[in-house]
């Protein structure tokens, strides 16, 4: 099951039952920005079709990070600019075989095959700290707030709508993997909170308010302190 959530004028989150995934769409006067594309080309094609029901504007894609469920759906959006952090490209595809195996263990052979066959589409444009994109009468900022869920997380700030797409920097509970940086993660959240967004969109789950992110920050700070204490 999928559904749109309208977060502001021309700003949407697309909620998916699959992995509780949340993708994004920001519509400007001349073009639109797609935030993440899903975990395989079938999901990506469905998302692209859903976007076309909202707007016919040319699109750009922004990838929040390199985990499979956020970028293997990019091919159906081509040709278009694909934006990501400069370290994203090297990390793309690293978790593909792990999740193919996981899907097979769960008896989800179709998902496993779709992921195995999905084309890895590398970013066409990258940045180190931040970049502002003009969508026509509306600007959005892609920013790397520091290491956290990965070393290349990207958030998408839509200041005129008071909305921030945070990717997997914000989740309940935080998803801590081998490529996460727990000690740095609270500082990345501090930078996001400094933007004072009214609505924060996690990579998985429903949109939240700043209080949710502050609680996650404290949880990560305690986790980091516990790790240091036991080292």
CATH number for 112: 3.60.15.10
Number of separate domains in the chain: 1
pLDDT band of 160, cuts 50, 70, 90: very high
Tokens of 209: 């308010």
- Average pLDDT value for residue range 86-109: 98
pLDDT at residue number 190: 98
Please state, in angstroms and rounded to a whole number, the distance separating the CA atoms of residues 58 and 48: 11
pLDDT at residue number 183: 95
pLDDT at residue number 174: 87
Does 206 score more than 80 pLDDT? yes
- Tens digit of each residue's pLDDT (9 = 90 or more) over 119-146: 999 999 999 999 999 999 999 999 999 9
Domain interval for residue 176: 2-230
- Are 121 and 75 in contact by the 8 Å Cβ rule? The answer is yes
Q: Is this structure's pTM higher than 0.85?
A: yes
pLDDT at residue number 165: 98
- 225 vs 197: which has the higher pLDDT: 197
pLDDT band of 226, cuts 50, 70, 90: low
Q: How many helices (DSSP H) and strands (DSSP E) are in the chain?
A: 6, 12
- Spell out the residues 6+ positions from residue 22 whose beta carbon is closer than 8 angstroms to its own: 13, 14, 15, 16, 201, 202, 203, 204, 205, 206, 207
pLDDT band of 225, cuts 50, 70, 90: low
The β-bridge relationship of strands 59-62 and 11-16 is unpaired
Does 62 score more than 70 pLDDT? yes
Give the residue among 216, 124, 158 at the shortest CA–CA distance from 9. Answer: 158
- Are 164 and 36 in contact by the 8 Å Cβ rule? The answer is no
- What is the rounded average pLDDT for all residues in the chain? 95
pLDDT at residue number 172: 78
pLDDT at residue number 173: 82
């Amino acid at each position: 099951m999928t559904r749109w959530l309208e977060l502001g004028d021309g700003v949407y989150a697309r909620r998916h039952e699959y992995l509780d995934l949340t993708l994004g769409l920001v519509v400007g006067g001349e073009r639109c920005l797609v935030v993440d594309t899903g975990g395989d080309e079938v999901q990506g094609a469905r998302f692209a079709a859903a976007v076309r029901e909202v707007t016919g504007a040319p699109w750009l894609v922004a990838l929040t990070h390199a985990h499979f469920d956020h970028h293997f759906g990019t091919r159906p959006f081509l040709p278009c600019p694909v934006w990501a952090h400069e370290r994203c490209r090297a990390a793309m595809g690293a978790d593909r075989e792990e999740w193919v195996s996981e899907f097979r263990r769960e008896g989800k052979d179709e998902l496993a095959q779709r992921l195995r066959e999905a084309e890895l589409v590398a970013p066409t444009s990258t940045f180190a700290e931040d970049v502002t994109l003009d969508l026509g009468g509306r600007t959005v900022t892609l920013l790397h707030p520091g290491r956290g869920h990965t070393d290349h997380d990207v958030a998408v700030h839509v200041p005129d709508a008071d909305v921030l797409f945070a990717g997997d920097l914000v989740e309940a509970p935080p998803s801590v993997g081998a490529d996460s940086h727990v000690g740095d993660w609270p500082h990345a959240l501090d930078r996001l909170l400094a933007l004072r967004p009214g609505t924060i969109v996690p990579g998985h789950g429903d949109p939240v308010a700043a209080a949710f992110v502050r609680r996650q920050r404290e949880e990560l700070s305690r986790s980091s302190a516990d790790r240091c204490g036991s080292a």
